[in-house]
């Protein structure tokens, strides 16, 4: 705001505040800085809830939010929208698996490519895939544990 009685407010947004010209951000210009960080766990749950609407109303989104750590609000909203689109395309209600496939999709690259790019999420997905292949219990992002698809017991237990 340019003065106490001014009715004009200018708001600017950038992902690179360090690149702003000093003349632009000096006192009397765009000098008030409000930093908006990435959403924490509760904020992530709130964003998911907002975009899921009535879908998955009884699902505890806390475990999903922990997987989403470091994501932007728009990425989180996109995952919810993608899960809804998958369910609609299949002509059925959304399931937790639809959301899980958006938040932590299956890794399609080979291990060398993921390792070369130092892609932490890719390594997590590869690790999950390897665990399933070895048929040992793996963590379900929704709070349970399960065995690989070919495991003879095919058991599911709550907790991890």
Cα 41 from Cα 76, distance rounded (Å):
11
pLDDT at 136: 37
Q: Residue 159 domain-assigned?
A: yes
Q: Residue 70 domain-assigned?
A: no
Q: What global pTM score does this model have?
A: 0.58
pLDDT at 31: 73
Q: Residue 115 domain-assigned?
A: yes
Number of structural domains the chain divides into: 1
Which residue segment(s) compose the domain that 116 sits in?
106-160
Q: Extract the residue ranges of the chain whose pLDDT is less than 70.
A: 1-6, 118-160
Q: Residue 56 domain-assigned?
A: no
pLDDT at 69: 85
SS in 3 state form for the chain? Answer: CCCCCCCCCCCCCCCCHHHCCCCCCCCCCCCCCCCCCCCCHHHHHHHHHHHHCCCCCCCCCHHHHHHCCCCCHHHHHHHHHHHHHHHHHHCCCCCHHHHHHHHCCCCCCCHHHHHHCCCHHHHHHHHHHHHHHHCCCEECCCCEEECCCCCCCCCEEECC
Q: Residue 54 domain-assigned?
A: no
pLDDT at 9: 75
Q: Residue 74 domain-assigned?
A: no
pLDDT at 88: 96
pLDDT at 4: 66
């Amino acid at each position: 705001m340019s003065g106490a009685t001014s009715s004009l407010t200018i708001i600017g947004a950038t992902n690179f505040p360090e690149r702003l010209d000093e003349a632009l951000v000096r006192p009397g210009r765009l000098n008030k800085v409000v930093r908006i960080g990435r959403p924490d766990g509760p904020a992530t749950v709130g964003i998911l809830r907002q975009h899921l609407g009535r879908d998955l109303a009884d699902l505890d989104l806390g475990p999903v939010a922990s997987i989403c750590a470091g994501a932007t609000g728009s990425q989180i909203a996109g995952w919810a929208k993608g899960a809804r689109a998958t369910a609609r395309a299949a002509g059925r209600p959304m399931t937790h698996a639809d959301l899980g496939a958006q938040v932590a999709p299956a890794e399609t690259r080979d291990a060398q490519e993921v390792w070369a790019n130092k892609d932490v999420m890719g390594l997590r997905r590869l690790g999950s895939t390897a665990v399933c292949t070895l048929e040992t219990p793996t963590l379900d992002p929704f709070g349970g544990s399960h065995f690989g698809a070919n495991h003879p017991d095919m058991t599911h237990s709550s907790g991890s």
